[in-house]
Structure 1
Amino acid sequence: MVKNLEWDKTLKHNQSINLDEVPKDFEDVARWVRSSRIGYAVETDVKVYKIHIQEFWENAKPETINNNRGISSTVRNKRIEVTEDRIRTVLKLLDNDQDPISLSKDDILDGFRGMGYAGDFSPKKEIKRGGLTRD
């Protein structure tokens, strides 16, 4: 059991983590996360005020922005435009809109086989807990 991780449970989301301060058992995971596409997004601590989020959603409306679907709103008299491309750029995800958003069931099952899944797949292609390794 991991103890002593400071996390404000009242917020429940949108919290960054300092990957240098993870427990020793998770150092390999921290290294992997840091080198992945989401490393910057996970570690960057940006303060977002609840009142700004509320004002954004009170004024939000769907729009086409530079030929992309997005959401526009006004927060503190400033126009805010959110699109997939903008999120990719700001969070430095290093991907593009041609990357798959979801994987097929067969691709997911291949991934489980690659991780050592030992069970048989049912006709519905379900993953059974008993086939998973302890790790």
Structure 2
Amino acid sequence: MVKNIDWDKTSKHNQSINLEQVPQDFQDAARWVRSSRISYAVETEVKVYRIHIQDFWQTAKPETIENARGISATVRNKKIVIREERIRKVLKLKDNAQDPISLSKDDILDGFRGMGFAGDFGQKKEIKRNGLTRDWRFIVHVIAMSLAHRKGGFDGLNL
């Protein structure tokens, strides 16, 4: 875990991070994240009421409207539909519908090899971050804490 970053210990995921306040040792990695397409998504703090989240997940179901897949739900008696294009726009990802949204296990492992991963891929269905260099561990930690849906530990990434 990256020390000296003020993460909210009560919330296990979807937290923003102020990349201006990271320790000096991680300034190069923070600069890289700030210049990437995900910078707005990881740095922007959004307040969402817990009751809205509960309403959403209690009523959420996949839906296809006009050949576009999405999630429909009812929040505070109002029907909403969330689509991939809307998420891209709101998070300012600067990508498009032709960009891949998932990768094969082989592509993921090739990416980790390219980042200098020194661990063993064959033991579990999880990649432990301690096999990465310090800067890549920081970047993976930022992504896991701010964009991942995990509610548990953050030392491993599921394949």
1:26-37 map, 5 Å:
26-37=26-37
Whether the 8 Å CA contact 2:61–2:71 is kept in 1: the answer is yes
CA RMSD between the two structures: 2.9
Render the CA deviation track for 1:16-48: whole Å, top value 9, x for unaligned: 001101100111111111111111000000001
Could you tell me which residue of structure 2 aligns to residue 51 of structure 1?
A: 51
Query: TM-score, normalising length from structure 1?
Result: 0.75
Give the secondary structure class of the aligned counterpart of 2:4: coil
1:42–1:118: structure 2 CA closer, same or farther, 3 Å change rule? closer
Distance 1:117 1:3 in 2: 22
Structure of higher CA gyration radius: 1
Could you tell me which residue of structure 1 aligns to residue 67 of structure 2?
A: 67
Distance 1:24 1:71 in 2: 41
- CA drift of 1:108 comes to 3.8
Render the CA deviation track for 1:90-119: whole Å, top value 9, x for unaligned: 11111122222214626743762x445689
1:63–1:21: structure 2 CA closer, same or farther, 3 Å change rule? same
Distance 2:24 2:49 in 1: 33
Give the secondary structure class of the aligned counterpart of 2:41: helix
1:28–1:67: structure 2 CA closer, same or farther, 3 Å change rule? same
Query: TM-score, normalising length from structure 2?
Result: 0.65
Higher relative contact order (CA 8 A, sep 6+): 2
Give the secondary structure class of the aligned counterpart of 2:46: coil
Amino acid at match of 2:4: N
Could you tell me which residue of structure 1 aligns to residue 97 of structure 2?
A: 97
- CA drift of 1:133 comes to 7.7
Amino acid at match of 1:105: D
Distance 2:45 2:118 in 1: 40
Q: Percent identity?
A: 66
Distance 2:15 2:133 in 1: 29
1:33–1:103: structure 2 CA closer, same or farther, 3 Å change rule? farther
Unaligned runs of 5+ in 1: 123-128
1:23–1:96: structure 2 CA closer, same or farther, 3 Å change rule? same
Whether the 8 Å CA contact 2:4–2:23 is kept in 1: the answer is no
- CA drift of 1:5 comes to 2.2
Unaligned runs of 5+ in 2: 123-127, 135-159
Distance 2:132 2:12 in 1: 30
- CA drift of 1:66 comes to 3.9
Distance 2:16 2:51 in 1: 20
Amino acid at match of 2:106: K
- CA drift of 1:10 comes to 1.1
